[in-house]
Structure 1
Amino acid sequence: MDLEKRPEPAPEQAPEGCLVTAIRLPLRILMVVLVVPLRLVWDALVAVGRFVGRWLLLPLARAIGWVLYGLLVWPCLMLWRYVLAPVGRGLRWLGRVLLVIPAVWLYVHVLAPVGRALRDYVLVPIGRGLAWLVRVLVVVPLLAVWRHVLVPVGRVLWDALVFAWRIAGYVSRAVGRVLRWLIVDPLRWVYRTVLTPVGHVVRDYVLRPVARVAASVRAAARQARADVRRALFGPPRQPEPQVSDRREPGGAQGRTLDRSTTALTKNTFIKD
């Protein structure tokens, strides 16, 4: 007994004719010419579609979804739960009582016996004859057309389309590299080696000195306005000291924390 599984031999493909071989190469060239522009446009549309879908359509769709849910879905759910579902259950019970039960009884006791009788004496021979006619007139011709016409033509078209799509992908990637070499890399080099140092020089030696001069000019202008205002209207008024209304002697006559006598008791002792 052989325990190892031997691989089954691959089915041999039917040899292709001269006509298929002669058509394959021009068809591939034609597919390349037609598909390369479509692939370039397709790649560009895919990139734009990803950007638009991520940053525009997705937030807009979410907002629209919430609005539609609030305006349509939730009212429909409430209508279904509290109106349509109870009415439907009532109609289902009524239909079962009035239609289903009588129909089942009619099928079991009338139609089924009649159908079995017709099937055994009339329908079986007619069905067999119709099945044989359909097989001979429809199925066999369709299988022949599929096997000998559609499958080979479809295989050739598919091979040509796959080949052209791959070539278009190579061309698209090459165009992308060329655009990067011609535009992106030079712009990046100019930004790093030219614009950034120039910007630093302008910031350190132009903008900052100008800002300092402007600040000093603003300070001098404020001082000049203050001097002119003081010369015309005099110095600003000082706030008047607030007078306390409390009738309590101040200075040495006030109550102290380290003495046990107040000004009133002290005057009384002096008089005595």
Structure 2
Amino acid sequence: MDLEKPAAEARQPERQPEGCLVVAIRLPVRIVVLVLVVPVRMVWDGLVAGGRLLTDAVLRPLGRALAWVAPAVLVWPFVGLWRYVVVPLGKALGWLAKVLVVVPLVWLFRHVLTPLGQGIVWVFRAIGAGLGWLYARMLTPAGHGVLWVFRGIGAGLGWLYARVLTPLGQGIVWAFRAIGAGLGWLYARGLTPAGHGVLWVLRGLGAAIVAVGVGVYGVAVWLLRYLVVVPAQWLYEWVLTPVGKAIASCALGVVWLVSMGINGIGFVLYWVLRLLLVLPVLALWRWVLVPVGRVLAVIGREVGTALGHAWRIAGYISLVVGRFLGTLLRWTFVEPVRWAYQAVLTPVGHFVRDAVLRPAAEAARSVGRVTRQTLAAARDSARQARADFRRMLFGESHDERPQAVPAPRREPDSADGRTLGSSTTALTKD
């Protein structure tokens, strides 16, 4: 019993009825396509398998090697250059800059510029003190004296203004007032009647000039009207207007003729193009291209479906052939090689290792051990000879005392080895 609710089956679209042409084309097309596609699919599967083998056996190890070689060739040299060339060179340049630039500048600032600045400040302070003393002891009394002198001059000028210039100015004002009164009497009694007479004469002349101007303006307006305006109006009404109407009528006639010609030419071209181009193309599309397109669509759809089925069937065939070839390669090459490695090469290798390589290694280690012991004995003999020669020449030194030679560590002489049952530690002693 199934506890889960079965999923609703997808509703298959209803297949449309197919004609006899589709059924007649489908089977041959699928057979031909299958025959053509199987080699292509087998070649494709072979290329895929070869590509995977190439990726696993060549490209991936090559990529790992390049991943190791690229840093070794591109990164490590620059790192070494930075670490062992640029950084030490930068430190050396920094040390040189410090020794050749910073230290001299600090010394110059500390032992030259600072005392020089302090001396300049002291000089300016002395100059300021001298100028302050000069201002307080000399310029201030001199200024006070000059101010007293100017005050005296101001007092003298005030007395001169009050006692001399003011009466003189008042006399001059009285004289100008008297002159103004005389000039006012002369204007009122003499100049005003003369001005009235001159104004009357000028008014008469202005009226005469205005009358003459009005007459000249009227004559000019009459001449302009009857010599220019009236002839121009007559020319516009009786000459230009009829000529313009005639030209407009001619232009309208020409436009009507041109439009009629263009309409006729367009009508003729329309029917010519319709009869010679549109109707044949329409008939070709409706009675030739559409049926041929439908047939080609059916053929293309069937060929595409056949290609899909053939590609999938060719995949199964290629899988079977590949498995057969893999099994054949395994039983004809891999299994014999594995059997030869396990049954022949491994025992031979073990025999060579046990019978040849290990005895040779033991002999080599024995020779090396004897050689080291011989060299150690020779070094001890040479050291003893040098000590005897020094003792013979200089005598025995008081500091030289015979030192006890520690006994070499050896295994216990008893045949019984140490076991956990023996009392060898403080925790296990009775």
| TM-score of the pair, normalised by structure 1 | 0.45
Q: Which has the higher contact order (CA 8 A, sep 6+)?
A: 2
Q: Which has the larger radius of gyration?
A: 2
| TM-score of the pair, normalised by structure 2 | 0.31
